[in-house]
Chain A
Amino acid sequence: EAGVAQSPRYKIIEKRQSVAFWCNPISGHATLYWYQQILGQGPKLLIQFQNNGVVDDSQLPKDRFSAERLKGVDSTLKIQPAKLEDSAVYLCASSLQILAKNIQYFGAGTRLSVL
């Protein structure tokens, strides 16, 4: 089966610019996650979707970050305006979320550098 697809793989922007990342989950996976992974740290959850609804966005900096999953399939994560501390790898993951099948599958990530 095809894995989680993310684009772009790399992005370099200047601070105060905006940027968007795209994610296409594994077909049939209702749950989609966005993580931020800063160098030297583990992934940190930003937002979780179940179909097209938000389950948890408590750790999303809503003054500058936004995410949507309008049709319950692919998703975009946007940062506007970017700050230097947003430099990180942004990971998308998806899962079936069926009992005893709580396995998340990760995309390759988008590496963002804010200069």
Chain B
Amino acid sequence: AQRVTQPEKLLSVFKGAPVELKCNYSYSGSPELFWYVQYSRQRLQLLLRHISRESIKGFTADLNKGETSFHLKKPFAQEEDSAMYYCACSSSGSARQLTFGSGTQLTVLP
């Protein structure tokens, strides 16, 4: 069974500081990894996914198959980055269901 672990429930950094949100997954196969974000009073939305290998809002995430990790990073945090971040893993089969981690609440302090 798939499992996604986000070890930090809460993370606070100062504006301009680097930020890293940790995500580890457990899956036998070739999963697809995602980061979803939920800003205050908004719906859950996709931030980025590993197959796109893109940077969104300054965030990047690299899939490390050896460590089974997909950590989210940003070199200089901004106050508008404050939100709830969820890491998710999808099977590569036809069903493509998402298994979510429990989330990390990021607060960027001024």
**Interface of A toward B, CB cutoff 8 Å:** 3-4, 33, 40-45, 48, 55-56, 91, 95, 97, 100, 102-109
Contact = CB atoms under 8 A, between A and B. Distances in A.
A102 B44 contact: no
Contacts of B45: 105-106
A102 B100 contact: no
A55 to B, nearest CB: 5
Given A42-B86, A102-B32, A102-B90, A109 B96 contact: no
Interface string B80-110: 0000001010100001111111110000000
Contacts of A40: 9, 102
Interface residues of B, number: 21
Contact of A42 (B43, B49, B90, B100): B100
Contact of A3 (B43, B99, B102): B43
A19 to B, nearest CB: 21
A45 B46 contact: no
Nearest to B100: A42
B96 A102 contact: yes
Contacts, number: 47
Given A56-B95, A56-B97, A97-B96, A106 B44 contact: yes
Interface in B8-55: 9, 32, 43-46, 49, 51
Nearest to A107: B43
Nearest to A38: B102
A98 B4 CA distance: 24
A32 B96 CA distance: 12
B98 A45 contact: yes
